[in-house]
Amino acid sequence: MTLQRTVALVALILASCNPPICATILMGFAERYMSDCLPIGNPTDTPEESLKYCEDIAFWEILDNTGKAEKRLLLASCDPGRKSWNTVMGPLHDPKPHGALWVHVPPERGSSSTPTKAQRITLKNYPEGHDFHPLGLEIYPSYGGNSSNLYVINHSRERTVIEQFLLNPADPTTATHIRTLTSPYFISPNSLTLTSPDSFYVSNDHLFTRRLFILGHFLPIIESILALPLSFVSHINLSPPSSSNDDAIIIKHTFAALFLPFPNGISLSPSGTQVALALTSQNKVLFYERDPATNVLTKRTHTIPVPFCPDNVRWTHGGTDDELIVTGHPHFPSITAVAANKTGAASASWVVSIHPNGNTTDKPTGKGEFDLDAPVSASSKISGWSMTTLFQSDGSEEGLMTSSTALKDPKSGVLYVSGLYDERGVVMCRPAK
């Protein structure tokens, strides 16, 4: 079976699990998008060096010595070569073109000046001739100007590894490579969330990967189609870089959650007591209660259905409670067509916000009662927990396609959205009053 045919097959079978909105013309959306949203990349960059096809974005908190917020920068992981190299969705033709990391300074609230463009981060001490295909990333806050540990999942030629870098706020465009983390438990890492400067949870999206010879063509697909609960989330503790000999970098591995179908984005809440996990093929987000002393996920507290295949999840520390921003793909067949580089293929974007600890205004609710301002309301597709649409696009040229992560800057009110296969990579939206 050729890859193209298998992709078409998954597309057909997965079609049933996703409410299609691609065909919907989102009236009025294009105008709002045109006035509110701007790409953060520089349009004059060459195609190979440009900020496009971005999987993940993360905030980097710059704090003073006492832990008070000074500023917040945005980091993005992008890969202009993604259409030739994608270990999750295929294809696996040419791993050579390199991905890159970018940094962006969010504009001040209410500022009307033209926002600055994102800058490419140079990788210092990165081994010569090695592949770099960045996927999930996260960075620890910087305190009083100290350097921060930055971890980036690298889908490279032979296997998926996690790269550890140091980034200093005095020179945010140079990331110094520290070491490469490998483990038999890194089967197909997709997303990670830090629990300290030297420890994190990491999700593995599949147990069988596409790199397996021959079987790699169908096992991951069969796993997705049947939603086999074969994957898992690990918690990893690292030795400090100074003490590291290569054998003992990972000093502890524990399974945090087992038997999951296609676990994808994972994120620790600002309070440290909750972990959210997206199950892509199930259109669900799971919430776990976490013991901060042991990192054990003590119990699953909620399972909240979302109206799309959720990709990444990120928390925003709101005024009264923490809010989870969930981003994903409303129509899986469309994103597989885009991944296969089909002429004219487009895939919609959808971002919602959920208050899992909501009081009377955010609770399990009936059908047709929430998100009524959205062009396509979440309640027209699902019933259950209420949520609010923050961003929606039908994937046409004017909008952003294949949204994978969104972040809201509580300070400036800016919403960032990354597009896994969008030429604009990341857009920044400043909602009009």
Least distance from ligand NAG to the Cβ atom of residue 155, Å: 8
Burial label for 110, CB within 10 Å (0-12, 13-18, 19+), is exposed
Would you count residue 211 as binding ligand NAG (CB under 6 A)?
no
Would you count residue 83 as binding ligand NAG (CB under 6 A)?
yes
**Nearer Cβ to ligand NAG, position 261 or 425?**
425
> 389 and 350 in contact (C-beta within 8 Å)?
yes
- Binding segment toward ligand NAG, per CB under 6 A, in 36-44, 125-133, 207-215, 371-379: 125-133
Strand partners, 166: 149, 176
For residue 268 the two structure tokens come to 């620790």
- Please state the separation of Cα 259 from the chain's center in Å: 21
Q: Say if strands 384-385 and 69-78 run parallel, antiparallel, or are unpaired.
A: unpaired
Would you count residue 130 as binding ligand NAG (CB under 6 A)?
yes
Decide: helix, strand or coil at residue 2.
coil
> 417 and 403 in contact (C-beta within 8 Å)?
yes
- Binding segment toward ligand NAG, per CB under 6 A, in 17-25, 123-131, 211-219, 292-300: 123-131
> 374 and 389 in contact (C-beta within 8 Å)?
yes
Least distance from ligand NAG to the Cβ atom of residue 359, Å: 4
* Residue in 28, 245, 343, 373 binding ligand NAG, rule: CB under 6 A: 343
Would you count residue 87 as binding ligand NAG (CB under 6 A)?
no
Q: What is the CA radius of gyration of the chain?
A: 20
Would you count residue 56 as binding ligand NAG (CB under 6 A)?
no
Would you count residue 342 as binding ligand NAG (CB under 6 A)?
no
DSSP assignment of 23-67 equals T---TTHHHHHHHHEEE-S-TTS-GGGS--SEEEEEEEEEE-TTS
Least distance from ligand NAG to the Cβ atom of residue 265, Å: 22
Would you count residue 183 as binding ligand NAG (CB under 6 A)?
no
- Binding segment toward ligand NAG, per CB under 6 A, in 9-17, 141-149, 203-211, 266-274: 141-149
* Residue in 359, 397, 432, 433 binding ligand NAG, rule: CB under 6 A: 359
For residue 308 the two structure tokens come to 């799309």
What x/- string results for residues 143 through 162 when contact with ligand NAG is judged by CB under 6 A? Answer: x--xx-x----x-xxxx-x-
Would you count residue 66 as binding ligand NAG (CB under 6 A)?
no
Residue number of the CB closest to ligand NAG reads 156
**Nearer Cβ to ligand NAG, position 177 or 430?**
177
Dihedral (Cα; 241, 242, 248, 249), 10-degree rounding = 0
**Nearer Cβ to ligand NAG, position 228 or 340?**
340
What x/- string results for residues 361 through 380 when contact with ligand NAG is judged by CB under 6 A? Answer: x-------------------
Would you count residue 127 as binding ligand NAG (CB under 6 A)?
yes
**Nearer Cβ to ligand NAG, position 138 or 163?**
163
**Nearer Cβ to ligand NAG, position 177 or 235?**
177
Least distance from ligand NAG to the Cβ atom of residue 89, Å: 13
DSSP assignment of 219-246 equals HHHHHHHTT---EEEEEEEE--GGG--G
DSSP assignment of 203-221 equals EES-SS-TTSTTHHHHHHH
* Residue in 258, 341, 367, 369 binding ligand NAG, rule: CB under 6 A: 341
> 428 and 414 in contact (C-beta within 8 Å)?
yes
Dihedral sign of CA atoms 140, 142, 148, 154 in order: positive
**Looking up tokens 């979302």, which residue turns up?**
306
> 81 and 155 in contact (C-beta within 8 Å)?
no
Residue of 423, 346, 427, 420 lying closest to 54 (CA atoms): 420
Least distance from ligand NAG to the Cβ atom of residue 303, Å: 21
Dihedral sign of CA atoms 237, 56, 132, 229 in order: positive
For ligand NAG (CB under 6 A), the number of binding residues is: 26
Would you count residue 131 as binding ligand NAG (CB under 6 A)?
yes
Least distance from ligand NAG to the Cβ atom of residue 83, Å: 4
What x/- string results for residues 294 through 323 when contact with ligand NAG is judged by CB under 6 A? Answer: --------------------------x---
Would you count residue 117 as binding ligand NAG (CB under 6 A)?
no
Where on the chain is the footprint of ligand NAG (CB under 6 A)?
Answer: 83-84, 126-127, 130-131, 143, 146-147, 149, 154, 156-159, 161, 163, 177, 180, 197, 320, 341, 343, 355, 359, 361
